[in-house]
Structure 1
Amino acid sequence: MKKSILTVLLGVWFGLAFQQAPAQPKTGGGKVTVNGYVRDAASGEALIGATVFVKELATGTATNGYGFYSLTLPPGDYLLTYRYLGYESLSNPLALTGNLTRDVNLSDQRVQMKEVVIAADKPDDNVKSTDMSVNKLDIRTIRMMPALLGEVDVVRSIQLLPGVSTVGEGASGFNVRGGGVDQNLILLDEAPVYNSSHLFGFFSVFNPDAVKDIKLLKGGIPAQYGGRLSSLLDVRMKEGNSKRLTASGGIGTVSSRLTVEAPLVKDKSSFIVAARRSYADLLLKVNPEQANNQAYFYDLSAKVNYTINENNKVYASGYFGKDVFKFGDEFRTDWGNATATVRWNHLFSKRLFANFTGIYSNYDYRLGVPTGSEGFDWKSNIVNYSTKADFTYYLNPKNTINFGASAILYRFQPAKITPLGGNSIFIPRVLNPQRATEYALYLDDEQVLSSRLSVQYGLRLSMFDYLGAATVYDYVGPDGFRKTPANPRTFGKNESVRRYANLEPRASARYTLTETSSLKASYHRMAQYIHLISNTTAASPLDVWSPSTSNIRPEIADQVALGYFRNFRDDAYEFSVETFYKTMSNQVDYINGADLLLNDNLEGELLYGQGRAYGAEFYLKKNAGKLTGWVSYTLSRSERQINGINLGRWYPNKYDKTHNLAVVGLYALNERWTLSGNFAYGTGVATTFPNGRYEQGGVVVPHNTTDSRNNYRVPAYHRVDVAATLQGRKKAGRRWESNWVFSVYNLYARRNAFTVYFRQNEDNPNRTEAVRLSVLGTVLPSVTYNFNF
């Protein structure tokens, strides 16, 4: 059946992709190609998404993720115009008689502007492109926004976009369209990042000084990407200044950072190194009572590139970050990510661009009690090694074909326990190491069918293999209760235990209504083969990643979206409204009182069912001028239906937030002062209020029955943040530039509830009361000094 579907889809694809291109002016026989790279004139950085427009043919293209473009045209005389928002446009006459390479450098004009520009792409891109459910943020915009304790944060910034939410302060990651944090594919230079947070979710792992491009995709995800249900966050690091030595950094309330970039060979090879460290532990040492405690994080990002010749360029990049918490000799925990990426760009021809990538990613955590009878050391990690090959073929200006393949090897280590001290009650133990492989093939096409209609369509074939050595069980028992393992089966090393395959079609379309408005629609199917086993709303060091097994099946999501997009006042404003409906199968939830800690039979604690999420997202954005910013509002629901919970009825999942509102404003007061502020409001997250109680040892204990899951809401979340940025005075001939950022987080000291817990009222034991737990319930001012030269 799957083979027949694949054959039909490929037949349709070839019929559309290679149909005759729309007629073009006759300017000579045959076709020739002009290609090249568009870069920043000052640093040599590739400009992603820059547009190249041919006036005479009213056609054009955009640069890819490496700044490369290719246009195949009839021979003739043309005027090529290169544009990138915030940069001076450049128009070059071109006498095209044969294949030609034309590299272009654009000059940044924002340093002279007395206004703020907050878009990260060309101003009409939201109307003209087929992309929908996509948000891009410029790193310079993020720098000007209010930040918690002055720490500029990529993840906190995207939480102010439509369709994106969080359960509150202290929650790791973010939630997109009602999905869990594990349902977001987060890539740093193509390497997956499994935990995007420092300090239990208060800061992200991305150093803003090392980041060049940020793109969030919530729908219409191209066939190149897979493995998660909800979204793709694609973060690209800078390549390093290939013109001259530069340095930048900052000294803040909780951390400091330093970045150095320079050419190794001018205009041919460059590098960037960025380091950041918090220093709360240094402050603790001032107090003798706290001197033996530690609380800090650090990260290091580095990248180097080398241009071999006009057809070959190589990159190597890496990230290493760690969080460390130590409370005297009683408790210690640390966790962190490590990634490495090696890439080779190769031009097979003027029209065929290829990128070959090798990737390593590791997320590990450690928990321990150093001494005493309960002394132990717990280590756990997930590691993956992957290779991928991606190709782009520029068939003609109206047709671009993308295809490729990838392979991933996963290693899961849920827990390795080592006793510490001679009288520890623990024994050495290794909990169920697991291995798996994942493969994928993909093919998609971006095509302009007419002056009004553009489409992108593709297909991804993914395959997953859960490997031995392993002993697997069936789990028997009624739904809603702990199940008992039965029928053990043993598999040898590298033997296939369970194999899955899924076809994942993708399609999106844009229909232009007027020069300033369009309708868009998209559909995608996504398969997710690895799962975060956690019954809390925030990632913690005790979370367990698991592959799909004989009992835990791959999660599948189908999402459709429809949107209206409109620009007005010469693209200074953009407006969009999107509706979406997403269905999900094989969703994981937990029995009441699930035991997820050191459990060899973890699968007996799990329940499976279906999910759905639906809603509407409204977005109004002002891109340029003295006053800029955006307003986003999301009205949505996210629900689950799982046998054994709520008597099989639908119930809100823990990421369901009906209303989400964000208002962001930036105002260029004058050449030196910029003011900014934001307001965030969200429905309180769902939690479970006890609907029963029992007595134990003379104490009344609240009790939850199987029909009460997520029947209560914590109070609504809202806060206001403000900031002011003061630019240092610029002196002629001096490269040193600096600014001061004064920020206040949670201006009116709202005690937002991160969660609630329940207890019996002391005066009336028959009465259950909810107690609010707030992580940040006060005003948090901060000062940060930033510099670059």
Structure 2
Amino acid sequence: MRFLSYILFISFLFFSGWVYGDDDSELRYSVSGHIRDANTGEDLIGASVLVKQLNKGTVTNLYGFYSVSLYPGDYELVFSYVGYQSQLMAVQLNENHTVNISLDEQISELGEVTVYAEGKKANINSVEMSVNKLPIKTIQRIPALMGEVDVIKAIQLLPGVQATSEGASGFSVRGGNPDQNLILLDEATVYNASHLMGFFSVFNNDAVKDVKLYKGDIPAAYGGRLSSLLDVRMKDGNLKKFSGSGGIGTISSRLTLEGPIIKDKTSFLVSGRRTYADLFLPFAKDEMVRKSKLYFYDLNAKASHIINEKNRIFLSGYMGRDVFENQFAGMQFGNNTQAFRWNHLFSSRLFSNFTVIRSNYDYLLGSPEGEANSFEWTSHMIDYNVKADFNYYLTPELTLRFGANSILHKFQPGSARGLGEESMLTEFKLPDMYALENGFYVSSEQAAGEWLRLKYGLRLSTFHNIGGALVYEFNDAYEIVDSTRYGRGEFYNSYHVLEPRIAATIIINPQSSFKASYSRTSQYVHLAQNSTAGTPLDVWFPSGPNTLPQLSDQVAVGYFRNFFNDMLEASVEVYYKKMDNAIDFKDHAMLLLNRYVEGELRYGEAESKGLELLVRKNRGKITGWVSYTHSKTTRTIPEINNGKPYLAPYDKPHDFAIVANYEITERIWVSANWIYSSGLPVTFPTGRFEYMGNIAPVYSDRNAYRMPDYHRMDMSVSLKSKEKPGRKWNYDLNLSVYNLYARKNAWAINFVQDETDPNVTYAEMTYLFPIIPALTFNFNF
């Protein structure tokens, strides 16, 4: 009955949309094409196309394509993108037209710096809510840890997004776990987005074109995670001329090269980054440090080719690796992704994109060969993904999007073996697991009059476990009572979930609007992680007969208002999220190399509710934003905490951030941010007892206490080189200071038994970063 209700409701919406849209295709002609940067040829995502006579229009899609269908006649079209000079074009429409537009970047005057995330009034008129887009130029000006500009550190300054721990690249969105965030790089899933144990992310800012975070109103085209979608798009490569950029910093250096292989037709981009702390280790006094290795590297590469007006192909890839080694042990981990995409125009109104993707995350832990306990332990998570997405531009008021994707998951949770003849360890391997995840979606964006914008869609997700597999059956005490073996390639368990997505914008006046959204999401792959900090050794595992998919229903409402001719943007959002089949782990769960890990899981409900405030200043000598989040996230799981509700691991009642950029002159600017948040929930020992001569701790209720509150200030000063006629390169020098007033923020608390009195336990706080200055030399040519 619930399934039928969804189908009838969505069918009604689509039917009414088509009727309202007045799809008299035979009476309309189309103006379509791409909008690109005149200097580089890069597609501009979200550029505006306005039909002046109708005061209606559209925006470009993820590949810079637009299409507007109009009745025959004479029209004036305005093409615009924030930070670029607008173009006005007269069109006599008596047949279909292809109009490709190249926009020139604006030369901003002192005091008129512009940092809009999207077009003017986009926050008012767009049907999207719970969505944040950060311009790359804004990210580049945020003070960075050790001088390394970071996409994920930047989004952690937005409302509803919280760092999981000091310096970590993992993040929690509206109370969710880090594994509930879908992180995409050119549509390929990134399973571990961190370098150096989370202090840096895998995203090299020089190779990134666009960053968009969805916290609730996730498009129907995406699924598989409960909390958020972080969509990161790489640059396509300069189609006009050869260019480069890079930087030399305190801990790392980077270099990006791009240019045309065939001008205006074929382009390439190669971007590399590496730390070099290991180059200085041989000079250390300590012998163990001298023999250690500590570094990471990553490489982005991309090529694109315009075949003709109707076809373009892209090939992109990412490879990154972290290496930690000393004389006793070593660890390596990293991501490897490849994506092939084909844009095809079936007609001036039907745009398509076909994608083939491979994602791989793996880690290796080992010790030197030649010892009795020498070993090597490896794990892999591999995806093979095919996608087809379509955009059908019916009228200026109505756009239809539909498509499908299929992912073959291969889980290799772990294998261990001895190294060398001296090793006494026997080989141990957890069984590989396979699953097929499918998604089918349809959605529509509709302008229903001058004051109402609608977006509605439906996603059907399915998940199938595939053999060979040995599946255990557990009783109510989570003890194994039986098992069943399934043959290779045999489908032995399935789930399917209908996921409606609905959003509406009511435009109150040109300066304000009211928005509301509802979305259902599901998650079939989960992370075995029982610490808030997380480690590279955490293992992904699938839903199955003993592991239910997690489900989330989220409702949000918001009020959006602009002030002073759109110089100030303000918004307030209130949300409520209910999660079913929420996963947590029993006390003292054993997760690593455990073939019975399903027996460590416990299921229940979770809910998150909160209020988010954002005030952003977009123009002037001083730009930036202030964000505040007040929230609460709890879980209720019968077998945990005696069935009583307890705080979720990433619950932070208060989270506050100030980001400010001040352009003193055209060459000098100062940036600063200040962060305050409540401490994370923790479980403390409250007593001790003796059993058979051993002393064991007694713990409080789960997450009944908190770490100390967190706060920190960062600052940076940048000096830009003078621009000289004829000089083909420029530079800037950036001095940044992380944790300006040297706050000792708790990273971990350890409980230590007193050496003289075993009945006494005291707490020791571990903190990571004192004040850290960094100097970075950035250049471009």
Cα deviations across residues 641-683 of structure 1 (Å, max 9, x unaligned)? 0011111111001100000000000000001101000000110
Alignment partner, residue 408 of structure 1? 407
Distance 2:155 2:3 in 1: 40
Q: Is the 8 A contact 1:618 1:632 kept in 2?
A: yes
Which of 220, 223, 231 lines up with 1:223 in the alignment?
A: 220
Alignment partner, residue 534 of structure 1? 529
Q: How does 1:150-299 map to 2 (within 5 A)?
A: 150-287=147-284, 289=287, 290-299=289-298
Letter in 1 for 2:602: L
Alignment partner, residue 750 of structure 2? 757
Alignment partner, residue 435 of structure 2? 436
Residue 426 (structure 1) shift: 1.6
Alignment partner, residue 318 of structure 1? 317
Cα deviations across residues 754-775 of structure 1 (Å, max 9, x unaligned)? 1212234556654443321112
Alignment partner, residue 726 of structure 2? 733
Q: TM-score, normalised by structure 1?
A: 0.96
Q: Is the 8 A contact 2:41 2:239 kept in 1?
A: yes
What secondary structure, in the 3-state scheme, does the structure 1 residue paired with 2:21 have?
coil
Q: Is the 8 A contact 2:661 2:670 kept in 1?
A: yes
Cα deviations across residues 288-318 of structure 1 (Å, max 9, x unaligned)? 6233200000000011000000000000000
Distance 1:216 1:11 in 2: 29
Moved more, 695-704 or 125-134: 695-704
Alignment partner, residue 20 of structure 2? 20
Q: Is the 8 A contact 2:153 2:169 kept in 1?
A: no
What secondary structure, in the 3-state scheme, does the structure 2 residue paired with 1:20 have?
helix
Q: Does 2:126 align with 1:129?
A: yes
Alignment partner, residue 398 of structure 2? 399
Residue 697 (structure 1) shift: 8.7
Distance 1:683 1:94 in 2: 57
Instruction: Give me the identity figure in percent.
Output: 49
Which of 353, 356, 359 lines up with 1:358 in the alignment?
A: 356
Letter in 2 for 1:12: F
What secondary structure, in the 3-state scheme, does the structure 1 residue paired with 2:659 have?
strand
Which of 594, 608, 615 lines up with 2:603 in the alignment?
A: 608
Cα deviations across residues 306-350 of structure 1 (Å, max 9, x unaligned)? 00000000000000000000012x110010000000000000001
Distance 1:115 1:536 in 2: 46
Alignment partner, residue 712 of structure 1? 705
Q: How does 1:2-81 map to 2 (within 5 A)?
A: 4-21=4-21, 30-81=27-78
Cα deviations across residues 264-305 of structure 1 (Å, max 9, x unaligned)? 111111010000000011111223623320000000001100
Q: How does 1:596-745 map to 2 (within 5 A)?
A: 596-695=591-690, 700-704=695-699, 708-745=701-738
Q: Is the 8 A contact 2:513 2:560 kept in 1?
A: yes
What secondary structure, in the 3-state scheme, does the structure 2 residue paired with 1:603 have?
helix
Which of 768, 771, 777 lines up with 1:779 in the alignment?
A: 771
Letter in 1 for 2:458: L
Distance 1:129 1:118 in 2: 18
Alignment partner, residue 336 of structure 2? 338
Letter in 2 for 1:458: G
Alignment partner, residue 386 of structure 1? 385
Distance 1:11 1:580 in 2: 27
Distance 1:29 1:144 in 2: 50
Residue 577 (structure 1) shift: 0.2
Distance 2:480 2:119 in 1: 57
Q: Is the 8 A contact 1:636 1:658 kept in 2?
A: yes
Distance 2:132 2:20 in 1: 33
Q: Is the 8 A contact 2:739 2:771 kept in 1?
A: yes
Letter in 2 for 1:626: K
Distance 1:116 1:425 in 2: 66
Q: Does 2:492 align with 1:497?
A: yes
Which of 735, 739, 748 lines up with 2:741 in the alignment?
A: 748
Distance 1:16 1:692 in 2: 65
Matched positions, count? 778
Q: Is the 8 A contact 2:387 2:403 kept in 1?
A: yes
Distance 1:164 1:3 in 2: 33
Cα deviations across residues 433-470 of structure 1 (Å, max 9, x unaligned)? 10000011100000011100010000000000011111
What secondary structure, in the 3-state scheme, does the structure 1 residue paired with 2:411 have?
strand
Q: Is the 8 A contact 1:35 1:68 kept in 2?
A: yes
Distance 1:111 1:384 in 2: 44
Alignment partner, residue 421 of structure 1? 420
Q: Is the 8 A contact 1:760 1:766 kept in 2?
A: yes
Letter in 2 for 1:334: Q
Runs of 4+ in 1 over 6 A off after TM superposition: 696-699
What secondary structure, in the 3-state scheme, does the structure 2 residue paired with 1:281 have?
helix
Residue 145 (structure 1) shift: 1.1
Distance 2:74 2:150 in 1: 47
- Over 3 Å counting, the alpha-carbon distance change for 1:56 and 1:518 in structure 2 is same
Residue 21 (structure 1) shift: 3.0
Which of 87, 96, 104 lines up with 2:93 in the alignment?
A: 96
Alignment partner, residue 348 of structure 1? 346
What secondary structure, in the 3-state scheme, does the structure 1 residue paired with 2:280 have?
helix
Distance 1:270 1:2 in 2: 50
What secondary structure, in the 3-state scheme, does the structure 2 residue paired with 1:570 have?
coil
Distance 2:443 2:312 in 1: 25
Q: Does 2:521 align with 1:523?
A: no
What secondary structure, in the 3-state scheme, does the structure 1 residue paired with 2:348 have?
coil
Distance 1:646 1:599 in 2: 24
Letter in 2 for 1:252: G
Distance 1:640 1:23 in 2: 48
The answer for unaligned runs of 5 or more in structure 2 is none
Distance 1:187 1:112 in 2: 36
Residue 113 (structure 1) shift: 5.3
Cα deviations across residues 83-130 of structure 1 (Å, max 9, x unaligned)? 111111111111111100001011111465554322221021010100
What secondary structure, in the 3-state scheme, does the structure 2 residue paired with 1:18 have?
helix
Residue 220 (structure 1) shift: 1.2
* Root mean square deviation of aligned Cα: 1.7
Distance 2:704 2:764 in 1: 16
What secondary structure, in the 3-state scheme, does the structure 1 residue paired with 2:639 have?
coil
Letter in 2 for 1:503: L
Q: Does 2:422 align with 1:457?
A: no
Q: TM-score, normalised by structure 2?
A: 0.97
Letter in 2 for 1:583: K
Letter in 2 for 1:101: T
Moved more, 718-727 or 593-602: 593-602
What secondary structure, in the 3-state scheme, does the structure 2 residue paired with 1:718 have?
strand
Q: Is the 8 A contact 1:247 1:788 kept in 2?
A: yes
